[in-house]
Structure 1
């Protein structure tokens, strides 16, 4: 009989405290004296390697620079780094197919639960990086050298259904009756319909990673648009594995109660249910620091600082935003007065923001990437048009 899952804060505390546990196949080349410790776990089909990069592992490589050197590792597909306190400057290069990549900077992850909330474990991290299968890594720290830096390597594996995933939640009717209502459908449309969705089961969510029951917002005032910054070179069959990896990272490495986003959209135009609690309900996410309490967070999978966003992905965002906002009578093209619980851009208090905005409008971040951010005016117009077509609020 398996043991019950540990409380989320316990898991994060244990990961942060690693210093002498021997690696279990995680780092093939880390057997030398003074090597950093690693904890390898496998559950939900995901192999997770958490490696403490202490002062012995990070060696000075110049003024204000520390590096690990090139390291052999077990196979992985997603990489991230975590720490506590002020963010360091972080760069990595990785080895795939026997060849080392060029250096690339890792951005600080600005998605997250509100400060002081139940799921705020106090640990920070980078945006996760999705890669071709890799078996080596080198980490460079520029500036402050943190004492509790951890390298996270994730191998989500693959499931037979990953490549064949199809929407298991059909599109809703365009009347007043929706999936969360017992009211009979009306002949005259009253709301924007629910788009087709892929469920948590479709991407392989392991329910034991969650911590606690979903928390509901009292209302929905906004849709915050994000990108995952994880990379654009992925196939249809990669997407469930990518989401499983993000879920593992958010819950087990950062200590959140669930995956942060309410929904995720891929470049093929598919919409995936993220956080548990029911897609038709006002589930509070952990996606926009200071503004989670009355909003929905949708993340488009990819990095749109370096690439354009697909038309199919934009259309999926429009359909999702129309459905979620129309249920609460919000004007997709308008502005709304919302309460900030405190972010790195807006202190506590009331602020007026777009009903559909980009993550950079609420936090000090480049998210959702310049090319996706430039699409927001068109997304607002199209969402308004769709809402009016079904008799909703335009």
Structure 2
């Protein structure tokens, strides 16, 4: 399967609606700055050298906008093919709904887009410049969209993305770390760094980064996430998918880099995410209010109901054991002081699992029910792996 064939599978996606509304609802053919050209009434995504085509469309000034007391609804926006979307805004709160026309035919029902509940530390330079937003939503190949916003959001912008495969995506192995020497690791009594694919394997555009890495004093937790895309992607699709997340996090959200420290795919491959050195305690932007003593690992896929396969579990265990080596028993809980999330106020002392799911710290369903139910097994296997190497 190709990256352009990724399909969204969320239980809250409602029944399909019917056909296209009247032609009067289609956005008029005009030229806009950040949105790029409009040709024959269709907004064109801009082709970028990093392999992610993108369209950033300010919503508040669209022709044909239907304004209401509590917000607005856009007309139907005809576009090139896109496979992921998000909405950002400068400030304010409210609900964002959208529907899109699938390339295979038919419209989705109106769907509430999940609010972004991860990000950089609110008081950091990165956090101050960050925009409020929805999560990046993977739609599958689509060619039109309509958005509805209710609340007091200011400066809303629709981001449409289409990640493309690049030739180098089929040969990522040249950027793989050396296999760990397990004998030496046991002699030293330390958990080895698992084999991983360095950042060069997914070819991020360095110009999109803004700022230098920050580091934590120590690692006490591993936060587990999922990326909510389809689960049947191919090996060569993964670099493009990570590049799309990277562009959304940096260009659209204003973060300094991709938020996750590591990502794990369904084939059991571990990918380096945020820059700063995989062996170091790099501070990520993955778990709002709890980045300061943790590592964030994203499982690539949708695990609200999808099955978590053994290769992914093994990879999660290996990275968790490596990062938590010397931090105590991963089956126990730790007390962590929140730096401010939508669930725990700034300064509150919270007892959390050493290996937890994103839902433990923020108001979200992440990392999905299936993966969350697998976390007790991940904790047990992580503890066993640490003991294995500590014994020598």
When normalised by structure 2's length, the TM-score is 0.83
Cα 1:116–1:26 change in 2 (3 A) is: farther
Pairing 1:173-252 to 2, within 5 Å after superposition: 173-174=181-182, 185=184, 188-252=187-251
Following superposition of structure 1 onto structure 2, how do residues 1-394 of structure 1 map, counting pairs within 5 Å? 21=33, 23-25=35-37, 29=41, 40=46, 42-54=48-60, 56-57=62-63, 59-60=65-66, 66-103=72-109, 104-120=111-127, 121-141=129-149, 143-144=150-151, 146-166=153-173, 168-174=176-182, 185=184, 188-326=187-325, 328-347=326-345, 348-391=347-390
Q: Can you give the 5+ residue segments of structure 1 that lack an aligned partner in the other structure?
A: 1-18, 32-37, 176-184
1:261 deviates by: 0.2
Q: Which digits, 9 at most, give the CA deviation of each residue in 1:160-202, with x for residues without a partner?
A: 1223433611332336xxxxxxxxx576251222211111111
C-alpha displacement of 1:22: 7.3
Q: Which moved more, 1:150-159 or 1:84-93?
A: 84-93
Q: Give the superposition deviation at 1:56.
A: 4.5
Shift of 1:125: 1.4
1:338: how far off?
1.9
Task: Say if 1:63 and 1:312 are closer, same or farther in 2 by CA, change over 3 A.
Answer: farther
Gaps in structure 2 of 5+ consecutive residues: 1-30
> Cα deviation per residue 1:314-353 (whole Å; 9 max; x = unaligned)?
2211111011111x33321112222221212122143222
Measured at CA, do residues 55 and 306 of structure 1 come closer, stay the same or move farther in structure 2, by a change above 3 Å? farther
In 2: Cα distance, 1:318 partner to 1:303 partner: 19
Root mean square deviation of aligned Cα: 2.7
Q: Deviations over 1:232-291 (max 9, x none)?
A: 342222111110010011011101010000001112211110000111110000011111
Work out whether residues 249 and 259 of structure 2, in 8 Å CA contact, stay in contact via their aligned partners in 1: yes
Structure 2 CA distance for partners of 1:28 and 1:209, relative to 1, 3 Å:
farther
Question: Aligned residues, how many?
Answer: 358
2:21 aligns with: none
Task: Report the alpha carbon displacement of residue 117 of structure 1 after superposing the two structures with TM.
Answer: 0.8
TM-score by length of 1: 0.83
